[in-house]
Structure 1
Amino acid sequence: MPFLNIKDDVELYYEDVGMGQPVIFIHGVWMSSRFFKKQLPYFRQKYRAISLDLRGHGQSSHVQTGHTVANYARDLKKFIDQLHLKDVMLVGWSMGAFVIWEYLQQFGEDNVKGTVIVDELASDFKWPDFEIGAFDLPALTGMMREIQSDQKGLLQGFIPLMFKKDLSESELEWMLAETTKMPAAIASAILFDQSIIDCRPYLNQITKPTLLCFGKEEKLIPVAAGEHLNRAIPNSKLELFEESCHCPFIEEADRFNQVVDEFIGGLN
């Protein structure tokens, strides 16, 4: 299995298939590269398709430190540099969007061809001037406490909220297995950081083409979040997925793959 050592105690698991334009898929909080299993077989036909497990997630090192979005962005930079990737296309789902925005803020846009943002807000927190945020402080602290007392129970309730339709038992089973690989201490630490990051101040600085993919079902993230990003990011386009909630790349994989493929093709 491919691992990349980006630091003495940190190895990142990744999958790397195909040739050509690098397209990197970045997962959400607690999730893993396995959630993109419907993307790599499609994109490998035209592109160099790469998915990775962020530190602490999936099969990557479960180190106890470094669990902030800003640090995940630094990990991504080391990953891109060590693989000598050029003109990367970054696809970020949920927290993966924050990792992309933080990467652009820290390292600039020079080596980025474009970005695809999947179902995320400019901030997950309900700030006084951001009512569409997902969490207020009581909800966030409640989730953090539940992770510590019943991580699996929390995930059994949370994962179905990511989908418009009911999951089959086998689907829920592999997703639970994947998300419970992460130790509870890490799970609550990164939940807190990714929930209070606020990317609004620098979204208008992004000049690279951005495709915004949002599910129409609003169990977790409102469509208003996509509309807000579409207004805030200058060179952006919003695409809605009628039969999806938080995971259009799973729920409407064929259409998602085609839409993203066409977007990338339009940039080349």
Structure 2
Amino acid sequence: MLEDGNYFQIEPNTEIYYIDKGKGIPLVFVPGWTFTSDVFQYQIDYYAKNYRVIAIDPRSYGRSTIVLHGNDYNTHVKDLIKLLDYLQLKNIILAGWSFGGLVTWGYIEQQGLSNVKALVNIDVTPKQISINEDAWVGGEIDEISNNYTYNMNSNRSLRNFMIPFTTEFMVERELSEEEVNKIIKHSVRTPYYITRELYASGMFSDKTKAAKLVDKSIASCMFISEPRASKAVPFMEKYFPNPKTFVLGRHMMFWEYPDKFNKLLDEFLENI
């Protein structure tokens, strides 16, 4: 796992951990709900050969400071803006996985497209909850309610939720206990009451406006996991037809199939 990172004081008594490697066009990776820069271990060194790679542990995630305020995705966007301004990055490529895509779309929502070269989002729909039958959503209402009410009401229940979430939703192959513990090691560091705030913030987010702006204006791509493809691919073709769409593996396909993922991402990046 990755430990050679830096810390940036985002506000008094609150630091954001980030990795900054390589030179060239900035490629910024934002992890999903409670996960950290570690999930991109197979992308960071690979892309640092040709890009300046930034990967973050957002507020209250992993090595960043756990705080009782700002645990929502609008604040995570503001934190990202502060960090990228501090690093003086220009002409950036944003890459967001899962709820990290709410942050990348949110960056565009708040900052516009003047400093964004391209957008890469991984297995995330811009609106998690919808009553439209053809919508790609983050889950069924009953499932979302059950997760919030019963699976995140203690640190123990959260860990018990994260294990099958990882083994059944994240990857295809069977994982050893050691692998599961490595994957969720930093995720379960975030206290359950903060994970609940972030879960609700993500599920009630709507980044449709930003997604439409991206669709019309800049190069973008979307990676979709195979179990979601039957709903997500037609949804993208109907409402957001311009992003390049790739279908691969499960939710954490970039970790499980890094060679395949990196090859597809290379294909996109070489043509922007």
TM-score of the superposed pair, with normalisation by structure 2:
0.90
Alpha-carbon distance between aligned partners in 1 of 2:230 and 2:153, rounded to the nearest angstrom: 31
Q: Hey, which bits of structure 1, 4+ residues long, moved more than 4 A? A: 128-131
The residue that corresponds to 2:242 in the other structure is: 235
Q: Does the CA-based 8 Å contact 2:134-2:235 persist in structure 1?
A: no
Letter in 1 for 2:255: I
Query: 5 Å matches for 1:208-223?
Result: 208-216=218-226, 218=227, 221-223=228-230
Number of the residue aligned with 2:231: 224
Residues 144 and 188, structure 1, Cα contact 8 Å, conserved in 2: yes
Aligned identity (percent) is 26
Deviation, structure 1 residue 179: 1.1
- Over the aligned positions, Cα root-mean-square deviation in angstroms equals 1.7
1:16 aligns to 2:20 (yes or no)? yes
Q: Structure 1: any 5+ residue segments left out of the alignment?
A: none
Closer/same/farther in 2, CA of residues 226 and 107 from structure 1, 3 Å limit: farther
Question: Does the 8 Å CA contact 2:244/2:268 hold for their aligned counterparts?
Answer: no
Partner of 1:2: 6
Deviations 1:121-163 (A, max 9, x none): 1222243566542334432232123211311111112111211
Q: Is the 8 A contact 1:17 1:40 kept in 2?
A: yes
**1:175 equivalent among 167, 183, 189:** 183
Matched, 1:82 2:86: yes
Count of residues paired in the alignment: 262
Q: Secondary structure at the match of 1:205?
A: helix
Shift of 1:260: 1.4
TM-score, normalised by the number of residues in structure 1: 0.92
Equivalents in 1 of 2:135, 2:263: separation in Å?
Answer: 33
The corresponding residue for 2:40 is 36
- Report if the CA contact (8 A) 2:229-2:247 is conserved: no
Residue 156 (structure 1) aligned with residue 163 (structure 2): yes
Relative distance call for 1:155 and 1:229 in structure 2 (3 A) is: same
The separation in 1 between residues aligned to 2:70 and 2:236, in whole angstroms, is 28
**CA 1:131–1:235 in 2, change beyond 3 Å: closer, same or farther?**
closer
1:23-48 residue CA offsets vs partner (Å, 9 max, x unmatched)? 01110001111000011110011111
Task: Quote how far apart the aligned CAs of 1:236 are.
Answer: 1.1
